[in-house]
Chains A and B, each alone.
Chain A
Amino acid sequence: MTLQPFGDRALLINWEQRIDPELNAKVHAWQQAIEQAAIKGVEYSIPAYCSLTVVFNPMQIAFDTLAEKIQALKIPEPSTRHAGRTLEIPVDYNGADLPEVAQRTGLSEPELISLHSNRPYRVYLIGFLPGFPYLGPLPEALHCPRKQTPRQSVPAGAVGLAGAQTGIYPFEAPGGWQIIGQTSLKVFDAESEDPFLLRPGDTVIFKPV
Chain B
Amino acid sequence: MLEVEIISTGLFDTLQDEGRPGYQSQGVPLGGAMDRQSAALANQLVGNPLGTPVVESTLLGPRLRFLGPAQIALTGALVRPTLNGHPMPRYTTVNVSPEAILNIGSMKQGCRTYLAIRGDWRVQKWLGSCSPPPYQSEVLTPDSQLQPGQLLKIQNTPNIEIRQFPPQDHPIFPKICEVRVFPGPEWGAFSDSARQSFLTQPFTLSKDSNRMGLRLKEQLPEAEHLPGLLSSAVLPGTVQVPPSGQPIILMADAQTTGGYLRIAQVSTNDLPILAQCRPGDQVQFRLHV
Contacts and interface: CB of A to CB of B under 8 A. Distances in A.
B27 A129 contact: yes
A127 interface: yes
Contacts of B95: none
Contacts of A8: 182, 265, 267-268, 288
B22 A128 contact: no
A159 to B, nearest CB: 17
A97 B235 CA distance: 32
A130 B233 contact: no
Interface stretch (B40-48, B54-62, B133-141, B151-159): B133-141
B25 A44 contact: yes
Given A10-B235, A126-B27, A44 B136 contact: no
A129 to B, nearest CB: 6
Contacts of A126: 25-27
Contact of A173 (B135, B235, B237, B267): B135
Interface residues of A, number: 40
A49 B228 CA distance: 14
B27 A130 contact: yes
B28 interface: yes
Q: Is the interface of B mostly helix, strand, loop or mixed?
A: loop
B267 A43 contact: no
Instruction: Pick from A46, A48, A126, A130 the residue with the most CB of B within 10 Å.
Output: A130
B191 interface: no
Interface stretch (A12-20, A65-73, A84-92, A108-116): A12-20
Nearest to A200: B25
Interface in A168-209: 171, 173, 190, 196, 199-200
Contacts of B267: 7-8
Nearest to B255: A128
Contacts of A48: 230-233, 257
B103 to A, nearest CB: 35
Interface string B256-278: 11100010011110000000000
B2 to A, nearest CB: 29
A14 B182 CA distance: 18
Given A18-B230, A53-B235, A6 B265 contact: yes
B136 A190 contact: yes
A125 interface: yes
Given A7-B182, A126-B27, 15 more contacts: A6-B185, A6-B235, A7-B268, A31-B25, A43-B22, A44-B21, A44-B24, A46-B25, A46-B257, A48-B232, A53-B233, A127-B27, A130-B23, A132-B27, A171-B135
Interface of A: 4-10, 12, 14, 17-19, 31, 43-51, 53, 55, 58, 125-132, 134, 171, 173, 190, 196, 199-200
Query: Which 8 pairs across A and B sit closest by C-beta, in order of nearness?
Result: A7-B265, A127-B257, A53-B233, A46-B233, A126-B27, A51-B232, A130-B28, A48-B232
21 contacts: A5-B182, A6-B185, A7-B182, A7-B265, A7-B267, A8-B288, A9-B268, A12-B185, A44-B24, A46-B24, A46-B257, A49-B232, A53-B232, A125-B257, A126-B25, A126-B26, A127-B256, A128-B255, A128-B257, A130-B27, A190-B140
